[in-house]
């Protein structure tokens, strides 16, 4: 099954890989990247030049927001349905530690092999003190918060930040702090405008950096605190940088990435930033550095590496594709969308012509141009039957989405079908 999926994703015109999380081990040789909306985890053992696919549990939700590691053997992912996967042997085997702590887990962090936290949606997070043998589900007092960034400096002191990409809602930017390992949280700041906060990094219990963006104009937000988050000072961003999604530091040197391939760099703990040349043009979702030279970044249809602190970023030699399975592909599904473009309503028509699998093994979802999940549909039709599903241009909470390009994606155990649809006003 994994071979067919990879082939379909990589052929011309097919749905691109959305690399959403990345991490490097301290040996600068091993590392992982994970994909949102697919079943893919890739691993490198040569510093990122080549990447090979790893197996995941067959019952996994298979959609990953983030991945982290503490060494070349111990790694964790988090993703859709609040699922956390773990490997203790470098990815030879992955197994599920928990599922359902939130509707999705967006960022996962471990400070050692025992203490870890995963931020999530609906104001929730998960924490472990035994390497994930047990994850405790915790709800903060703000159920509307969509937490996207988390940072702990020890087993007690941590911060989380919230935002909501592409929502065009005010009040989504939120900052909270815990002093008891994540059991309880206090509010530090809430934005009343279109600001979103997507990642946070604290150097110690006093000094920290938050990055994000303003949804109204895609401008960059960088905030710095020197008093543990009681007050925040805005930091200027370089020209031609946009809406940041992730930040990481190695000592006083730091890197942040975001929309339109933005990569910016600081050498003074975040007080000033300069742009770095980026080969990417789409959104970069994550960045990770092990020291001031070796780093990785990833985003929509791209993985980037550097061995000189970002003076030069380059793409890997290869990410495994299994083209020898090209001739085994058999047409088993039909998918169409009409009208397209549409203003108020469009009809998604699909037909299954394969009786080798059950309906619950298939999914039909809609994604925006950055690969973010917009809406999920329940498939209730029978094998070999037609079904038509109407979409009125709303998200999972029935809120109108902005005009633009979206992708309707049907995934079955034997095939992936994607249709582009345009919403106009």
Q: Are residues 81 and 221 in the same domain?
A: yes
* Single residue among 272, 295, 319 that ends a domain in this structure: 319
pLDDT at residue 295, rounded to an integer:
97
Residue 61 within a domain: yes
pLDDT category at 318 given cuts 50, 70, 90 is confident
Residue 325 within a domain: no
pLDDT tops 90 at residue 379: no
Element (H, E) at 5: helix 2-10
* Single residue among 298, 319, 340 that ends a domain in this structure: 319
Residue 290's CATH number? 2.130.10.10
Q: Are residues 305 and 416 in the same domain?
A: no
Contact 73, 90 (CB under 8 A): yes
Q: Are residues 363 and 401 in the same domain?
A: yes
pLDDT category at 12 given cuts 50, 70, 90 is very low
Of 10-24, 158-172, 322-336, where does the model show the most confidence?
Answer: 158-172
- Token pair, residue 100, equals 């359902």
Q: Which of 67-76, 222-231, 292-301, 395-404 has the lowest mean pLDDT?
A: 395-404
pLDDT digits (tens, 9 = 90+) for 94-103: 999 998 999 9
Contact 119, 76 (CB under 8 A): no
Contact 229, 149 (CB under 8 A): no
Residue 109 within a domain: yes
Mean pLDDT for the stretch of residues 115-141? 96
pLDDT at residue 325, rounded to an integer:
31
Question: Residue 63: which residues within 8 A CB-CB, separation 6 or more?
Answer: 35, 36, 37, 38, 39, 79, 80, 373
**DSSP 8-state secondary structure symbol assigned to residue 424:** -
- Token pair, residue 413, equals 């155990």
Q: Are residues 170 and 39 in the same domain?
A: yes
pLDDT tops 60 at residue 2: no
Closest CA to 109 of 88, 92, 89, 132: 132
Residue 349 within a domain: yes
Residue 338 within a domain: yes
Of 186-195, 317-326, 333-342, 396-405, where does the model show the most confidence?
Answer: 186-195
Mean pLDDT for the stretch of residues 55-62? 70
Mean pLDDT for the stretch of residues 145-172? 93
- Domain ranges, residue 390: 330-423
Residue 389's CATH number? 2.60.40.4070
Closest CA to 319 of 303, 307, 298, 296: 303
pLDDT category at 354 given cuts 50, 70, 90 is low
pLDDT tops 90 at residue 405: no
pLDDT category at 355 given cuts 50, 70, 90 is low
Q: Are residues 418 and 313 in the same domain?
A: no
**DSSP 8-state secondary structure symbol assigned to residue 141:** S
Element (H, E) at 7: helix 2-10
Which of the pair, 77 or 325, is modelled with greater confidence?
77
- Token pair, residue 164, equals 């909501």
pLDDT tops 70 at residue 385: no
Q: Are residues 313 and 335 in the same domain?
A: no
Residue 276 within a domain: yes
Reported for 34-37, long-range contacts at CB under 8 A and 24+ positions apart, including other chains, are 34/64, 34/65, 34/66, 34/67, 34/77, 34/79, 35/63, 35/64, 36/63, 36/64, 36/65, 36/79, 36/371, 36/372, 36/373, 37/63, 37/365, 37/367, 37/371, 37/373, 37/409
Mean pLDDT for the stretch of residues 296-303? 93
Mean pLDDT for the stretch of residues 65-89? 95
pLDDT category at 418 given cuts 50, 70, 90 is confident
pLDDT at residue 168, rounded to an integer:
79
pLDDT tops 80 at residue 326: no
Residue 263 within a domain: yes
The structural domain count of the chain equals 2
Which of the pair, 360 or 202, is modelled with greater confidence?
202
Q: Are residues 27 and 175 in the same domain?
A: yes
pLDDT at residue 417, rounded to an integer:
74
Find where tokens 């035994």 sit.
130
pLDDT at residue 162, rounded to an integer:
96
* Single residue among 319, 345, 360 that ends a domain in this structure: 319
Find where tokens 């970002």 sit.
310
Share above pLDDT 90 across residues of the chain, in percent, rounded to a whole number: 62
Q: Are residues 95 and 198 in the same domain?
A: yes
> For 313, what's the count of Cα atoms within 13 Å in the CB-facing half-sphere?
24
pLDDT at residue 320, rounded to an integer:
58
- Token pair, residue 99, equals 């599922």
pLDDT tops 60 at residue 167: yes
**Nearest-angstrom CA–CA distance, 380 and 386:** 11
pLDDT at residue 332, rounded to an integer:
54
Strand segments, DSSP code E, in 203-252 are: 208-214, 219-225, 233-234, 244-250
pLDDT category at 136 given cuts 50, 70, 90 is very high
Residue 324 within a domain: no
Q: Are residues 281 and 339 in the same domain?
A: no
pLDDT tops 70 at residue 78: yes
Q: Are residues 295 and 212 in the same domain?
A: yes
pLDDT at residue 124, rounded to an integer:
96
pLDDT at residue 289, rounded to an integer:
97
pLDDT at residue 360, rounded to an integer:
52
pLDDT digits (tens, 9 = 90+) for 208-239: 999 999 988 999 999 999 999 999 999 999 99
Q: Are residues 363 and 397 in the same domain?
A: yes
pLDDT digits (tens, 9 = 90+) for 245-273: 999 999 999 999 999 999 999 999 999 99
Of the chain, the end-to-end C-alpha distance in Å amounts to 39
pLDDT at residue 3, rounded to an integer:
33
pLDDT at residue 333, rounded to an integer:
65
Average pLDDT, the chain: 86
Q: Are residues 17 and 96 in the same domain?
A: yes
Q: Which of 29-43, 132-146, 286-300 has the lowest mean pLDDT?
A: 29-43
pLDDT at residue 110, rounded to an integer:
98
């Amino acid at each position: 099954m994994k071979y067919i999926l990879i082939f379909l994703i990589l052929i011309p015109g097919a749905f691109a890989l959305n690399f959403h999380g990345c991490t490097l081990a301290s040996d600068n040789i091993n590392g992982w990247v994970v994909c949102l909306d697919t079943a893919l985890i890739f691993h490198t053992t040569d510093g990122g030049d080549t990447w090979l696919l790893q197996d995941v549990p067959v019952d996994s939700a298979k959609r990953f927001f983030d991945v982290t590691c503490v060494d070349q053997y111990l790694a964790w992912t988090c993703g859709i349905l609040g699922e956390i996967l773990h490997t203790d042997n470098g990815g030879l085997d992955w197994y599920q530690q928990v599922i359902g702590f939130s509707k999705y887990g967006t960022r996962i962090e471990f400070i050692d092999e025992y203490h870890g936290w995963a931020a999530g949606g609906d104001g929730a997070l998960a924490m472990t003190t035994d390497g994930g043998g047990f994850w405790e589900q915790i709800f903060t007092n703000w159920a509307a918060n969509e937490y996207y960034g988390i940072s702990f400096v020890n087993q007690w002191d941590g911060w989380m930040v919230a935002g909501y990409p592409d929502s065009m809602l005010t009040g989504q930017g939120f900052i909270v702090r815990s002093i008891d390992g994540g059991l309880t949280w206090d509010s530090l700041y809430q934005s009343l405008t279109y600001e979103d906060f997507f990642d946070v990094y604290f150097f110690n219990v006093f000094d920290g950096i938050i990055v994000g963006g303003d949804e109204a104009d895609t401008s960059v937000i960088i905030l710095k605190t020197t008093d543990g988050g009681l007050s925040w000072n805005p930091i200027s961003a370089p020209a031609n940088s946009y809406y940041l999604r992730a930040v990481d530091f190695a000592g006083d040197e730091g890197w942040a990435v975001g929309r339109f391939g933005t990569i910016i760099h600081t050498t003074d703990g975040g007080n000033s930033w300069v742009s770095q040349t980026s080969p990417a043009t789409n959104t970069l979702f994550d960045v990770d550095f092990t020291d001031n030279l070796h780093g990785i970044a990833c985003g929509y249809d791209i993985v980037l590496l550097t061995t000189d602190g970002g003076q030069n970023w380059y793409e890997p030699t290869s990410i495994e594709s299994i083209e020898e399975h090209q001739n085994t592909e058999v047409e088993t599904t039909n998918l169409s969308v009409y009208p397209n473009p549409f203003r108020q309503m469009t009809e998604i028509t699909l037909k299954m012509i394969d009786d080798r699998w059950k309906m619950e093994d298939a999914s039909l979802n809609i994604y925006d141009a950055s690969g973010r999940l917009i809406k999920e549909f329940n498939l209730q039709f029978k094998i070999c039957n037609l079904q038509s599903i109407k979409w009125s241009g709303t998200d999972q909470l029935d809120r109108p989405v902005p005009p633009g390009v979206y992708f309707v994606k049907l995934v079955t155990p034997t095939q992936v079908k994607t249709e582009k649809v345009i919403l106009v006003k």
